[in-house]
Amino acid sequence: MKEILLMLLMVCLFVSCKKQVADEPTPQNNTLYFPPSNSDTWESITPQSLGWNTNEINSLYSFLEQKNTRAFLVLKDGKIVLEKYFGNDIQNRPFTNKSLWYWASAGKTLTAFLVGKAQEEGFLKISDRTSQYLGRGWTRLTNQQEDAITIRHQLTMTSGLNDNVADRDCTRPECLQYLAPAGSRWAYHNAPYTLLEKVVSTATKQSFNNYFNKVLGNKIGMEGSWLSIDFNNVYFSPPRAMARFGLLILNKGKWDKEVIMQDQEFFTQMINTSQNLNLSYGYLWWLNGKTSTMIPYLQTVFPRSLTQNAPMDMFAAMGKNGQLLNIVPSKNLIMIRMGENPDVGDVPFTIQEEIWERLNKIIK
């Protein structure tokens, strides 16, 4: 019943919103600041110095607190402009910039980056059959059906596996059943995504966590850990670790002077439309500014962009209960929200829309 009510809420939201922000200016070329990888130091800049409307900031913070937010950050040119913490962390201590919080499905974007690195280093190709790394029988499909599923299908949510099962997170073969040919249907389905971690670990011959730290986490100073929860592998980190990843992505895979991802073809594909079914989806990233979008658990195509209050070029990592990492290249801007359920259900689209409605009153 809860899921049905959620779907109805999202349908109402997507069909009722008509307003769209104006086209965005050409991306800025301002020099980006990068915090040291081995230090807590992070430069800040005041909203006053940027000419922002400071009269609306307290109203934004009040809204965020009412919506069960724990951490909120806005970065401009890599420097912290807004940073506010609310309530308690998962250990019931006051939330600070050191507190750990879960990324939920926003962590899918970390996995996408690792798949790109594994391809760059020659461990795999995203055109490879998934069964090449998971072995035959990882699903309940015929061999022919199973062999049609590639790593790219897992990255784009187009595996064709049936997402209308009792547990969408279940990665056991009996839970992975045929519904449509691979590549012919978009459906937000956790299980095929989760198995990308096994693909990466098999291809690289090391644990997913070790590979993550080696090629990404340690390189940019991310403090965090992957924890297994039921079928899922969930990333927990302080909010500033999410900001570090956002800054890396804003700079197209380069951390200051060090190139972390050289494969710019993959990087570009990752943050652009990956198939013609859901135009607002890349390789596990959500994309704004497209003419249509789909949302989890519905097969409806909505004739609108992802977040109409946000800049057109914004793209996002989005997770359960409103874990958000928004990147806006045209403004050299990063927005982060971590927290508990903001009372809009499992899908974080509404809270993202509402935050941007208020940010637009502040940012000049």
> Environment class of residue 230 by beta-carbon count within 10 Å: exposed (0-12), middle (13-18) or buried (19+)?
exposed
Residue with tokens 């359920």: 341
Q: What pLDDT sits at residue 343?
A: 80
SS3 content of the chain, % helix, strand, coil (to 5): 35, 15, 50
CB count within 10 Å of CB 20 equals 12
- Please give the C-alpha separations between residue 347 and each of 236, 296, 297, 355, in angstroms, as whole numbers: 19, 8, 10, 15
User: Which neighbouring-strand residues pair with 324?
Assistant: 318, 337
Provide the CATH topology of domain 20-102+113-125+201-359.
Beta-lactamase (3.40.710)
* Boundaries of every domain in the chain: 20-102+113-125+201-359
Question: What does the H/E/C string look like for 171-200?
Answer: CCHHHCCECCCCCCCCCCCHHHHHCHHHHH
For residue 343, give the amino acid letter: D
CB count within 10 Å of CB 273 equals 15
Residue 215 per-residue DSSP state = I
- Please give the C-alpha separations between residue 297 and each of 4, 173, 275, in angstroms, as whole numbers: 10, 21, 18
- Give the integer Cα–Cα distance in Å for 52 and 23: 20
Write out the chain's pLDDT in tens, 364 residues: 334 334 333 434 443 444 444 444 444 546 999 999 988 999 999 999 999 999 999 999 999 999 999 999 999 999 999 999 999 999 999 999 999 999 999 999 999 999 999 999 999 999 999 999 999 999 999 999 999 999 999 999 999 999 999 999 999 999 999 999 999 999 999 999 999 999 999 999 999 999 999 999 999 999 999 999 999 999 999 999 999 999 999 999 999 999 999 999 999 999 999 999 999 999 999 999 999 999 999 999 999 999 999 999 999 999 999 999 999 999 999 999 999 999 865 457 899 999 999 999 999 8
- Give the integer Cα–Cα distance in Å for 327 and 282: 14
Q: What pLDDT sits at residue 364?
A: 81
How crowded is the C-beta side of 34, counted as CA atoms within 13 Å? 20
99-102: list long-range contacts, CB under 8 Å, 24+ apart.
99/70, 99/71, 99/238, 99/239, 100/224, 100/225, 100/236, 100/237, 100/238, 101/70, 101/71, 101/236, 101/237, 101/238, 101/239, 101/323, 101/338, 101/339, 102/234, 102/235, 102/236, 102/319, 102/323
- Give the integer Cα–Cα distance in Å for 100 and 26: 36
- Give the integer Cα–Cα distance in Å for 315 and 344: 21
How many residues are there in the chain? 364
With CA atoms as reference, report the closest residue to 181 among 233, 131, 146. 146
Report residue 3: phi and psi, to 5°: -70, -35
- Give the integer Cα–Cα distance in Å for 217 and 339: 22
- Global confidence as pTM: 0.92
Tokens of 327: 């990147």
